Every structure is written in structure tokens, then in C-alpha cells.
Amino acid sequence: MGTAAALTVTTLPGTAAADPETATTPEQAAQLVADASHRLEVVSEQVNEAREVLGLQQLAVATARQDVEEARAQLDSLDGQLRQVARSAYTAGAGEELATLDLLMTSDSAEDFVSSLTFLDQIAGHTTGVLDDVSVAAAEAEQAEAGADAAEAAARQTLDDLSAQEEQLQSDIADYQQQFTELTAAQQQQVQEAQVAQTGQAVAPAAVARPVAASGSAQAAVDTALAQVGDSYVWGASGPNSFDCSGLTQYAYAAAGVSLPHSSRMQAQMGTAVSRAELQPGDLIFYYSPVSHVSMYIGNGQMVHASTSGQPVKVVSVDSMGGITAMRRIL
């Protein structure tokens, strides 16, 4: 992800000194902040994914523990049944002889006696076999629980590491923003124009496509996404008043009754792949490799997305951003 120092921006004479990057023009300053913002978006999306993975691992742990409890309960029940059979028919030593004699005395015939013995043998053999099977299942459940615990710990460590990177990058962006306030109005305008060039010029409201999706659910997702136009971009946010890129698409599809993970890379693995010519309102468009940004197609060559810090949720041309790596139809 690069070192923290490499993301720090020194803009023009009179601003705070930073090392090693030094921008002597607004254009260079704009490029440095664009690079820093993109790195932060990448890390933030990785943090989003790490949270999703941790949640899945925690669910796996809970499921594994429930399986262990059920297996142990079944073992206890079968063990009790087996002991009852043993007490009824095959107790140790003299007890076994007395049980057999009792069975002989109460049988109506020799055939009945043999049949009863055979039946008891079958019960004991079956119960023992089931007990063995359940013992194996219990051992496997305990092994799965241990594996789930280890996976959860690894996922939590990954989340902690990425969160530390995210915090450092946010600190670097804050340093830039402080320096940004010391630029002249004209220089600030140049930086803002560079940000717009990277994420797309917003389409005027009158020119926004009126999407007609192929299904009611897709229409609900598109309408919800468009209703957020103008909301602020916040890393890691998923609504209702601020969003990052995958938080916006997650929020929009939740309104359609579809659960998406808060991760652009994970969303890029859902649904079915479509080509540019096949795009329909509601389809998701993914950027960069590995995937770290997502937008929603709304028709007429336009898309809506939460682009980057300092830019609101907006409608832009699909061609305003380069680096498309995937297009997926969720519904």
C-alpha cells in the first residue's frame, strides 16, 4: 500500500513541510491527493471485506459450537441407551448368567429363547455401531470448531492490521486537507477539478437518464441509489446519509430485498457477468485490479456512484472513469 510518508503532501511555499513528497504546483498537489485518496479507498474496501469475512467466520464458529453441543448430547443419549441394553441382557460375570437364565425361564420355547437372544444381540450391536458413528461425528465437530476458532482469530488479525493502515492513511489525508486550506482559491479550484476529472463530471439533473429496469427489484435498487445523489462520501459508510462506493450499492440493493456484502471485491463475485453491450439499469460496474471500486449502471451510458472523499454521490458517464474490470448483473 506504500508507506505513510509517501502519501504526505506538501503543496506550495508557505505550507507545512513534509517529506519526501514535495509538490511545487497545484497540479502536482492534486495528483498526490488523488493517489492518496485512491490508496485509502483500496484499503477501506479491504477493511470492509475483512469485516465481512470476520462476520462469516464468527457465524462458522457459532455453527461449529452448536454442532459440537448436538453431537455431545447425542452421544450422552446413546450411551444411556447402550447401558440400559447391557443392564437388561449382558451384565458382567454372574449377572450375565442370571440375565440369560431369566430370559430362558420366561421364554415360551427354545425357538423363542434363541430369537430373544438374537434380537438383544442386534440391539446391542446396532446401538454400539451408532455410538461409534456419533463418536466420530463428535470428534469431527470438535475439530471443525477448533478450525473455525483459528480462522476467526486470523480474520480478526487481518482486520486489525488493515484498520491500522486505514487509520494512518486517514491521518495522511487529514494532513493534506490542512495544507489544502492554505492554497489560494484558484489553486484549490485546480485541485478540485483534478478530483472531478478522476471520478467523473456530474451529469446535470435534467440530463440524468430515467431508468427502466428489467425487474421491479432492480428498479427499486436503482431508484434508491439515485435518491442518494448529493449525499457525502465517507470511508466505510453504508448510509443512510453518507456512503462509500460498496456501501451505496449495498444500501440500494437492500431496499430491493437483496443482501450484498459491504465489499466491492466480494460484490464482484456475485450475480452473473455481463458485457458492456448487455448492461441494464441496476447492473454493477467494477474498477481496478484488484477490484476496489463499484458503481451502478442506470441506463443511457450513465452510472451513479459514491466516488471519493470530497465528492458527493453523483451521476456520471460510464466512460468518465477508466479501468473497468468487471460488470455483473445481481438481479
**By C-alpha distance, which of 147, 136, 171 is closest to 43?**
171
All cell numbers assigned to 295 = 458503481
Q: Contact 317/304 with Cβ under 8 angstroms? A: no
User: What's the rounded Cα separation, in Å, for the pair 207 and 210?
Assistant: 9
Burial of 131 (0-12, 13-18, 19+ CB in 10 A): middle
Q: Which amino acid is at 304?
A: V
- Please identify every residue annotated as catalytic: 245, 293, 305
Angstrom distances, CA of residue 265 to CA of 24, 71, 166, 193: 36, 37, 17, 28
**By C-alpha distance, which of 262, 266, 258, 277 is closest to 219?**
258
- Please give the span between the terminal C-alpha atoms of the chain, in angstroms, as a whole number: 34
Angstrom distances, CA of residue 57 to CA of 46, 60, 141, 148, 202: 16, 5, 15, 7, 40
Q: Does residue 240 have a cis peptide bond before it, meaning omega lies within 30 degrees of 0? A: yes
Q: Is 242 helix (H, G, I), strand (E, B) or coil?
A: strand
Pairing of strands 232-233, 242-243: parallel
